[in-house]
Structure 1
Amino acid sequence: MSTRDSESGRKAESVASSFGRPKPGQDEGSATFGAFVRKSGARRVAVDISSAQDSQKQEDVIEPVEALPEDAVEVGYIADGYGLKGWVKIVPHANAKQGGDALLTARRWWLTKGRERKFARCMQSKVHADTIVARLGGCVDRNASEALKGYTVHIARSDFPKLDSEDEFYWVDLIGLDVENEAGVALGRVADLIDNGAHSILRIEYPDTNKDGKAATGERLIPFVGVYVKTVDRAAKRIVVDWDADY
């Protein structure tokens, strides 16, 4: 998950993690995901806006743009066309079998490939096996959809669906936060997150030295669960954990 640059946007598995108590019907210790993953069996279709008269003209083309929004997050890539009517097949950067909320709810998409940047409106989208399939304004047949193969899909962070709880966080919002323990000892900064199936794990990097005394980067792995994670303060860009510096 690299930080966004001005050229290609920020790539991140925009999964939402929860360290609070499980919701009713949720297994103890399981993670709650927001951007792509929903409870098993959930199937959601984005609102079909193709009949909106006031914006139909601007939605019937995929147009080039000079830059992506400052809060653009790469959420997947177009793997192929789907069907004969211009739908595209997107492989998301997280498990789509259980949902795909950001790709299913956001109407504004930005597509990039090399130096090309395009803006498209998502008219309709839905889960299809392990992928998301979508109909974009201006993409009307198989030839048009196949021409979009290989483009990455970006969605503005501001267009992500709202999370259900204050104890849920998108991964992209946790990367870069400083981590300290309850004694105020700095443990490093969140460089990445890992999903082990049961819950998310913070991967924290900190300045260290190797056996030769040369500068190196150390790593800590802290489970993102309530027993260890005490507070997440996005405004202060800080996470407080119950974790000893010697662990």
Structure 2
Amino acid sequence: MAKDNRILIGKIGAAHGVKGQVRITPFTQYAEDIAAYGPLGTDRPGLSVTITDLRVQKNVVIARLKSIADRTTAEKLNGVSLYVDRDVLPEPEEEDEFYHADLIGLDARREDGTVIGKVSALPNFGAGDLIEVRDPLSGDTYLYPFTRAVVPDINLDDGYVTIIVPLDAEIGEEEPD
């Protein structure tokens, strides 16, 4: 799996129980989908994992991994990131659905075409999706709501998103007295 073609879909956490199960935080739309992609690549050279059984528990899955049968071995996997090759993921079904990995690195432009930075992340701190734009000159980052009103145009083919900067978040503007 080429590093630039892989998508992070989960992260292994602590061991669970004494029979080698692990907790996995999934980054898939539905938690149980993490097992649907077959063997998963990892951020450890030469290591891939296959989920043989899982159950959803709140915001994590408790998983049994092929060839992991004891707690000591499971504990060594804590912190391992799980990846799938981008080519095995289905194309988004809706016009306004995107994989985060497809948006990161795109130019962020104002409506007039002025480049204000690059998309560096798409965090969600609980109040909705945000789009993070990094200014290449200053290194500063700016967060905007990831809504159609603020991000009306996403052009993957040409490599940019259009950002309508909310009036109360103008870059470089002085605050009113």
* TM category, shorter: 0.7 to 0.9
Letter in 2 for 1:87: Q
Aligned partner (choices 111, 124, 128) of residue 195 of structure 1: 124
Please tell me whether the aligned partners of residues 118 and 136 of structure 2 are also in contact (alpha carbons under 8 angstroms).
no
Cα distance in 1 for partners of 2:80, 2:23 equals 11
Letter in 2 for 1:72: R
Please tell me whether the aligned partners of residues 105 and 161 of structure 1 are also in contact (alpha carbons under 8 angstroms).
no
Cα distance in 2 for partners of 1:196, 1:87 equals 29
State the 1:138 CA deviation. 2.1
Please tell me whether the aligned partners of residues 104 and 126 of structure 1 are also in contact (alpha carbons under 8 angstroms).
no
Cα distance in 2 for partners of 1:142, 1:234 equals 44
Please tell me whether the aligned partners of residues 32 and 56 of structure 2 are also in contact (alpha carbons under 8 angstroms).
no
Letter in 2 for 1:140: A
Q: Aligned residue for 2:173?
A: none
Partner secondary structure for residue 194 of structure 1: coil
Number of residue equivalences: 168
Cα distance in 2 for partners of 1:173, 1:237 equals 9
Aligned partner (choices 31, 42, 52) of residue 100 of structure 1: 31
Is 1:166 matched up with 2:99? Answer: no
The 1:143–1:186 alpha-carbon spacing in structure 2 relative to 1, beyond 3 Å, is closer
Q: Aligned residue for 1:222?
A: 144
TM-score, normalization by structure 1: 0.57
TM-score, normalization by structure 2: 0.75
Cα distance in 1 for partners of 2:159, 2:130 equals 18
Q: RCO greater where, 1 or 2, for CA within 8 Å and sep 6 or more?
A: 1
Q: Aligned residue for 2:135?
A: 206
State the 1:125 CA deviation. 2.9
Partner secondary structure for residue 47 of structure 2: strand
Is 1:234 matched up with 2:145? Answer: no
Cα distance in 2 for partners of 1:202, 1:129 equals 26
Percent identity, aligned pairs only? 26
Please tell me whether the aligned partners of residues 102 and 160 of structure 1 are also in contact (alpha carbons under 8 angstroms).
no
- Normalized per residue, the structure richer in helix is 2
Structure 2 unpaired stretches of 5+: 171-177
RMSD of Structure 2 on Structure 1 (CA): 2.9
Q: Aligned residue for 1:112?
A: 43
Structure 1 unpaired stretches of 5+: 1-67, 209-215
